[in-house]
Amino acid sequence: MMKLLVCIDGSIYADSLCTHAAWVAKHLNAEIDLLHVLRRPSDYQAPTDHTGLMGLEARSHLMEELTRVDEERGRFDQKKGKYILEYGAKILKKAGAKTINLLHQRGSLVEAVQEYEDSVDIIFMGKRGEHADRSSLFLGSNLEKVARSIHKPLFISSTIVRPIKRFLIAYDGKDSVHKAINYIAEHSLLQKDLECHLLVVERVRGDIETSQAEQTLRKAGFSVLLTTEQSHQADQVISSYVVNKKIDLLVTGAYSHSRMHSLLLGSTTASLIKACKIPLLLFR
16-42: per-residue pLDDT in tens?
Answer: 999 999 999 999 999 999 999 997 765
Which pLDDT band, with edges at 50, 70 and 90, does 138 fall under?
very low
Residue after which a domain boundary falls, among 128, 155, 182: 155
Amino acid identity, position 30: A
265 with 225, same domain: the answer is: yes
16 with 88, same domain: the answer is: yes
Residues of the chain with pLDDT > 70: what percent? 82
115 with 210, same domain: the answer is: no
* Cα 38 from chain centroid (whole Å): 18
9 with 140, same domain: the answer is: yes
Give the range among 47-51, 73-77, 78-82, 210-214 with minimum mean pLDDT.
Answer: 47-51
- What is the CATH number for 232? 3.40.50.620
| pLDDT at 264 (0 to 100) | 34
Mark 155-175 as b/e (b = at least 16 C-beta within 10 Å).
Answer: bbbbbebeebebbbbbbbeee
Is 257 part of any domain? yes
Is the pLDDT at 105 greater than 70, yes or no? yes
144 with 191, same domain: the answer is: no
The residue-averaged pLDDT of 119-138 equals 73
197 with 236, same domain: the answer is: yes
Q: How many whole angstroms separate alpha carbon 85 and alpha carbon 88?
A: 5
Is 54 part of any domain? no
| pLDDT at 39 (0 to 100) | 79
Is 65 part of any domain? no
Residues 201-255 pLDDT 10s: 998 888 899 999 999 999 999 999 999 999 989 999 999 999 999 999 999 998 6
pTM: 0.85
Number of continuous H segments (helices) and E segments (strands) in the chain: 9, 10
Domain that holds residue 112: 3-41+77-155
Which pLDDT band, with edges at 50, 70 and 90, does 137 fall under?
very low
Which pLDDT band, with edges at 50, 70 and 90, does 55 fall under?
low
